[in-house]
Structure 1
Amino acid sequence: MPTIALRPATRTDVPEILAFVRELAEYEKLAHEAVATEAGMTEQLFGERPAAEVVIAEVDGQPAGFALFFHNFSTFLGQRGLYLEDLFVRPQYRGLGLGEKLMVHLAKLAVERGCGRFEWSVLDWNEPAIRFYRRLGAVGLDEWTVQRVSGQALRDLASGEVGGGLR
């Protein structure tokens, strides 16, 4: 029986975190979007104002999976929430319950931290992940769609240079 352990990531884990991110991006057919750097990730995770946290899952001392998460806020609840940005288990470690252990760990953190929600997004074609999340009790929010502004569109919006200018 393999030994499974979950632990908070440290600064020295950044190269492994980036490896997980790239493997996840490859799986999601989004490798071209995975442009994070070691320096940037180190600053964002372990700098003066960390933007997110990471939990590493290990099997017999080897990095096998990770979850990257951060807090958001619900004005309707008047409470912060926990948002899961990435969950990934390497293929050779799937079937050992690592994904569920990571999700249970994050749910416990959310409850301990007084969060009113634990939420995440999943690609609509990722049926195995959707089945997994439904098994854990997750409910899809079909009436909501994700909106995003990034790259040049973000810079244009920040400067007011969109749709003929903002009023």
Structure 2
Amino acid sequence: MNAIREARPSDVPVILQLIHDLAIYEREPDAVKNTTQSLQDALFGERPTIYAHVVEARGEIQGFALWFLNYSTWEGVNGIYLEDLYVRPEARGAGYGKALLANLARIAADRGYARVEWSVLNWNEPSIRFYESLGARPQSEWSTFRLTGDALTKVAAL
């Protein structure tokens, strides 16, 4: 039996390890700068900025979904931005990813949110096929832009 539940403070070390595992899967093994304390603060601090759900089976966390709220100015309501969805390789195919996404869809529907959205790497064909099997479609008319590092610092100084 598997259970989707909200993450608890005691889950933070496991979630952080899964974030590292995801970075390895996404071919960026040294990219994670997050720490247990940073993740703890973001999830459970005085002013949480992110949310997480985990899927637990056989007494262990098998995967997680980490998300935050966005807002549609056109719709006038919030939506969910799924930052990370990850299931341990040995647990894939058991429906855990689908269960985590279904949970987020229920949250969005129950709260009147307009959408659940996320990004996927263009080379990640297994994930793309999985998402498309659920009815998700790429937003090809939009491009993602990002300010980081020196560019972020320069624009902040304007």
TM over 0.5: yes
- 1:24 is matched with 22
Match of 2:36 in 1: 38
One-letter code aligned to 1:141: Q
Q: Secondary structure at the match of 1:22?
A: helix
Q: 2:139 aligns with which of 138, 141, 144?
A: 141
Which residue of 2 is the match for residue 122 of structure 1?
Answer: 120
Aligned to 1:164: none
Aligned length: 158
Q: Which runs of 5+ in 1 are unaligned?
A: 161-167
Cα displacement (A) at 1:152:
2.3
- Classify the secondary structure of the residue corresponding to 1:31: coil
Q: Deviations over 1:103-124 (max 9, x none)?
A: 1010000111110111000000
Q: How far off is 1:138 after superposition?
A: 0.3
In structure 2, what is the equivalent of residue 79 of structure 1?
A: 77
Q: Distance in 2 between matches of 1:31 and 1:159?
A: 31
Distance (Å, rounded) in 1 between the aligned partners of 2:148 and 2:77: 27
The list of structure 1 runs, each at least 4 consecutive aligned residues, that deviate by more than 4 angstroms after superposition, is none
State the alpha-carbon separation in 1 of the partners of residues 4 and 58 from structure 2: 11
RMSD of the TM alignment (CA)?
Answer: 0.8
Post-superposition Cα deviations, 1:77-110, rounded to whole Å, max 9, x if no partner, equal 1111011000000011011000001110100001
In the superposition, the TM-score normalised over structure 1's length comes to 0.92
Note the residue ranges of structure 2 that are not aligned, 5 or more in a row.
none
Instruction: Give 2:104's aligned residue.
Output: 106
- 2-side partners of 1:146 and 1:113: how far apart? 26
| 1:156 positional shift | 1.4
* Aligned residue among 53, 56, 59 for 2:57: 59
Q: Which residue of 1 aligns with 2:11?
A: 13
- Whole-angstrom CA distance in 2 between matches of 1:142 and 1:116: 19
Larger gyration radius, structure 1 or structure 2: 1
| TM-score, normalised relative to structure 2 | 0.97
Q: One-letter code of the match for 1:21?
A: I
